[in-house]
Amino acid sequence: MALEESQQPNQLHFLVIPMGSPGHYIPTIDMAKLLAQHGVRVTIVTTPVNTLRFGSILDQAIQSGLPICFLEFPFSYNEFGLPEGCESIDDLPYMGLTRALMQAYASLQKRVEQYIENLNRMPNCIIADTFLLWPGETAKKFQIPRIIFDGMNCFTQMCNHVLYLSKVYETVGESEPFVLPGLPDRIELTRSQLPFAFNPKLKGINDFNEKLRVSESEAFGVVVNSFEELEQGYVDEYKKDKGDKVWCIGPLSLCYKDESEKVQRGKKSSINKHECLKWLDSQEKGSVIYACLGSISRVEPAQLIELALALESSKRPFIWVVRAGHKTEKIENWIDEVDFEERTKDRGLLIRGWAPQLLVLSHPAIGGFLTHCGWNSTLEGVVAGVPLVTWPQFQEQFYNEKLVVHVLRIGVSVGAQKTVFWGDEDKSGEVVKSEEFIKAIEEVMEEGKEGEERRKRAKELGKMANKAIEEGGSSYQNMTRLIEDIKNQARTRNLS
Ligand code: UDP
């Protein structure tokens, strides 16, 4: 029986439209699962390779009767000059193809609209990734409430908001620290650490960001992968700005409880679950540094070598995730030439490609997480209750570092000074030296009073995160509120 036929008379139907980048589609799929667990019928718009990725993690849930289905459309690789099978930013052979990828996603609009036209009942809501503009037009055309799925947090939203209004960054030099005005905490940044949207040299990006602002202002509301207790002051401010239509429903990664699900999240893991757990089980509690820089950062080999040398010198057990894609051959040659794995075999584990991050972080052996401060990773670190070593690379990652180090006080910075530009990584000119990594790792892992207090705060936040998503918790209640708000919309529409 088709899912449409099986829909209960009063059951809500949401159309979920993810975007092709792991940092975006992973939490979107988590959200879809959570919505379905709250009784909403969910249709996920997808394309062939993405169906396989989303399918493997949702299979179990769908088998058990959760009302989720996929709406798969072909992807126009050839038409936009993309390699066959390339549906995600991390699969692009070079960053110059990002625009083509976005165009290929935009070409799904027609097909989605045809699908809606042929339905007996309109979907009650469209939730689309913040970077997709066309769902705004589709929602307007069919008069369906559209919610933006924002892959970031309220702290980031408010940093962007005050910068956009005050333009304070325009009056300072590149590396001159300035305070972001009107925020609940004193947040100091430099212009070189701001997201690309605030770089006047990047006109194309500025125009796109203006469109995103308009798209967001026209949406019914915003769903955020965060929880209120983590950043209450910023949630309140953001709600004021959005007329209350902000729903913090995270941490979304907590919708997976089983190891078998955790290991399948995102992409196929490059390490066998048992091998990974066996290694972790052999380490002392709270002793391991886990170093992973997300799914799309393109760190130069010279910089990765500094990190590797620091992990070796720290004399602590470590997991180092070496992402495949950007100059992999160079870094692999170095690993071979210096016999890095042999040198560190008593305490190091290299994962080449995709690490089962949730599985790793939830293991008691993990004592610290060296992260690039992508929001998903940062929040996953918070959930795990471990302190963070922060090494932001680009976009809003320097904001996340400030949140972690200065507001939540659960992290130590390696001291990165400026954003790295996609496609221009080799021109960045900044190299964080191994001594700086070692210093930050030592601070995070040290057994003295400061380290102990940082660990305690991290653990407390981890507990709060887990509570937020449980029945009665703030995120659980927000999910209920979101569903009620859409029900009210549906009622109003039926009456008019
Ligand atoms: N991730 C993973 N294994 C890896 C690399 C990344 O599971 O080897 C997941 C990670 O758990 C997170 C997402 O990919 O959920 C990355 O999102 P994030 O916002 O941290 O960074 P981005 O990749 O967007 O820069």
Written as six digits, the tokens of 16 are 């979920």
Examine the pLDDT at 3 and tell me if it is beyond 60.
Answer: no
Distance of CA 426 to the CA centre of its chain: 25
pLDDT-derived band of residue 326, with 50, 70 and 90 as boundaries? confident
How many angstroms separate the alpha carbon of residue 294 from the centre of ligand 1? 4
pLDDT 10s digits, 359-406: 999 999 999 999 999 999 999 999 999 999 999 999 999 999 999 999
Tell me if ipTM is over 0.90. yes
Ligand 1 pocket member 320 (CB < 6 A): no
Q: Are 18 and 223 in contact (CB under 8 A)?
A: no
Q: How far apart are CA 447 and CA 453, in angstroms?
A: 10
pLDDT number for residue 60:
82
How far is the centre of ligand 1, averaged over its atoms, from the C-alpha of 309 (Å)? 23
Sign of the Cα torsion 308, 354, 350, 461 reads positive
Q: Is 20 in the pocket of ligand 1 (CB under 6 A)?
A: no
Q: What is the pLDDT of residues 265-291, one digit of tens each?
A: 999 999 999 999 999 999 999 999 999
**HEC-encoded secondary structure of 287-309:** CEEEEECCCCCCCCHHHHHHHHH
| Probe residue for ligand 1, chosen from 295, 390, 398 as the CB with the greatest number of ligand atoms within 8 Å | 295
pLDDT digits (tens, 9 = 90+) for 86-138: 999 999 988 889 999 999 999 999 999 999 999 999 999 999 999 999 999 99
Predicted confidence band of residue 2 (pLDDT cuts 50, 70, 90): very low
Distance (Å) of CA 294 to CA 65, 360, 399, 405: 32, 14, 16, 19
Q: Is the peptide bond before 9 cis (omega within 30 degrees of 0)?
A: no
CA 292–ligand 1 middle distance (angstroms): 8
pLDDT of 4 higher than 80: no
Q: CB of 28 closer than 6 A to ligand 1?
A: no
As a whole number of angstroms, the distance between CA 232 and CA 302 comes to 40
Query: Which residue blocks in 38-97 are alpha helix, DSSP H?
Result: 48-63
Ligand 1 within 6 A of CB of 19: no
pLDDT beyond 70 at 26: yes
Q: How far is the CA of 380 from the centre of ligand 1 (A)?
A: 9
184-213 residue pLDDT tens: 999 999 999 999 888 877 766 778 888 998
**C-alpha to C-alpha distance for 362 and 430, rounded to whole angstroms:** 33
Helices (H) and strands (E) in the chain, counts: 20, 15
Are 375 and 151 a contacting pair, CB within 8 Å? yes
295-309 confidence digits (pLDDT tens)? 998 899 999 999 999
- DSSP percent split of the chain into helix, strand, coil, nearest 5: 50, 15, 35
pLDDT of residue 119: 96
Supply the residue whose CA is at minimum distance from atom 10 of ligand 1: 377
